[in-house]
Structure 1
């Protein structure tokens, strides 16, 4: 009995970490020939061709300076980086929504920023009003990490400003989005379900025509 128990304990000790690690580590599926064969051809004249964001395999045009960018969009061209606007109240959300802008890459001088932070006097002013533009790179990295966490937990996010619901992305593909009544959360039947922005602003007339009573619990 003791021998069986000992062997069982050793087996669990060896195999359990691998099982747990498999749940924690996320790996993109490989770009097989079958997946590449389904990619549409790039017909536009691109200054630079890059791979799809996330776990995508298909070639797409890189975003140029001044174009919209974000976590779900193709990356910016070489020498550029995606930044939120300077006056953005929620820079992470802006990047997740793809409302950032490609701009010239600014290298972060770590020693200079540390020296500035050490000599800065703490006051009542909001830190966003004094944050240098170079810190936008840090916000972009944080946005990517947050997107990974949301994808693993399979959570849904509701965009109140655009009255839409979206499923989280999987395998590099953005989740499906649809328009809802902002007061009830009910899907508007006349609106499409698409992978991307369903442009719910154009359905304002339908929103006003829908019942405004809260959903029954």
Structure 2
């Protein structure tokens, strides 16, 4: 039923791809030299969305669609980025489970009420803006909900990894949180290398995977697994 609502892929499209995020709809993959980013279609197989090495903020450039689809062989010589999950625990900020009032406001603006899709790069933009602010005295609010806490830590590690490598990070996971700080049942990784993203189902309260639910490239239809657990 959902697929029937999707717009058709042009008949002259050489390669179809899923829409960004966890959508089931198909769109035309981007060819060599075409602009690309987080919110565009993915590049065709064998291509990678590349941001020039001189770009000071590659993450932000990808948000704005300022990348270019180039053959993987042309960008293969870049310095390999450090995996985001390799950051040591003692490198985390001491108050990583707290957030300032301004930061909380930025976070809520990035995740409006009713938002069902992850906005990982908007989150990164908000986080980068947070880190640039130097507010000496501001009331701190406790982060509400386990997903918000995990997201804050994941953002810190992701930005830290990007700063260290000065390269591009093409695969990462940021929790998909609702407005109350808990998890959306559908969680997906983010890939920028042209491959479809894996999605899976979790319990909204704690983010743990629902037993028996699949991990697939597409929509795992999490609601049916939630209903079976009730």
Q: Which TM-score tier does this pair reach, normalised by the shorter chain?
A: 0.3 to 0.5
Q: Who wins on radius of gyration, i.e. which is larger? A: 1
Higher helix share: 1
TM-score after normalising by structure 1: 0.38
Structure number with the bigger relative contact order (C-alpha 8 A, sep ≥ 6) is 2
TM-score after normalising by structure 2: 0.36
